[in-house]
Amino acid sequence: EAGVAQSPRYKIIEKRQSVAFWCNPISGHATLYWYQQILGQGPKLLIQFQNNGVVDDSQLPKDRFSAERLKGVDSTLKIQPAKLEDSAVYLCASSLEWPWGAMDNEQFFGPGTRLTVL
């Protein structure tokens, strides 16, 4: 089966500019996640969707970050305006089921978008 697709793979912008990332999850996966992975750290969840509804966005810096998942399939994550500390890899993941306790809750990750803010 096709994996999680993300684009672009790399992006370099200047601070205060805007940027958007796109994710296409595995077909049929109801749950979609966006993670931020700063160099030297593990991924940190930014936002989680169940179908097209937001389940958890408590760690999303809402003053500058936004995300949507229209029609419950593709998703976009936007940063506006970007800051130097936003330099990171942005990972998208999807899973068939709800994370807790379900046998099919494995999260499948995309290749990520490496963002550099100058």
Partner 1 sequence: AQSVSQHNHHVILSEAASLELGCNYSYGGTVNLFWYVQYPGQHLQLLLKYFSGDPLVKGIKGFEAEFIKSKFSFNLRKPSVQWSDTAEYFCAVIIYGNNRLAFGKGNQVVVIP
Kindly determine how many residues on this chain lie close enough to bind partner 1 according to the rule CB under 8 A.
27
* Tokens, residue 40: 């030297």
Spatial neighbors of 31 by CB under 8 A, at least 6 apart, are 48, 49, 50, 55, 94, 95, 96, 97, 98, 99
| Region from 16-24, 66-74, 78-86, 100-108 binding partner 1, contact rule CB under 8 A | 100-108
Which range, of 9-17, 62-70, 71-79, 93-101, touches partner 1 by CB under 8 A?
93-101
Task: List the alpha helices (DSSP H) in 10-113.
Answer: none
3 state SS of 13: strand
Identified binder of partner 1 from the candidate list 1, 2, 27, 41, rule CB under 8 A:
41
Residue in 20, 22, 30, 56 binding partner 1, rule: CB under 8 A: 56
Tell the residue number behind the tokens 């937001």, with chain if given: 54
10 versus 118: smaller Cβ distance to partner 1: 10
Per CB under 8 A, the segment of 9-17, 18-26, 65-73, 97-105 that binds partner 1 is: 97-105
Residue of the chain from 32, 88, 91, 115 that contacts partner 1 (CB under 8 A): 91
User: Is position 101 an interface residue for partner 1 (rule: CB under 8 A)?
Assistant: yes
Return d(Cα 55, Cα 57) in angstroms, integer: 7
d(CA 102, CA 87): 33
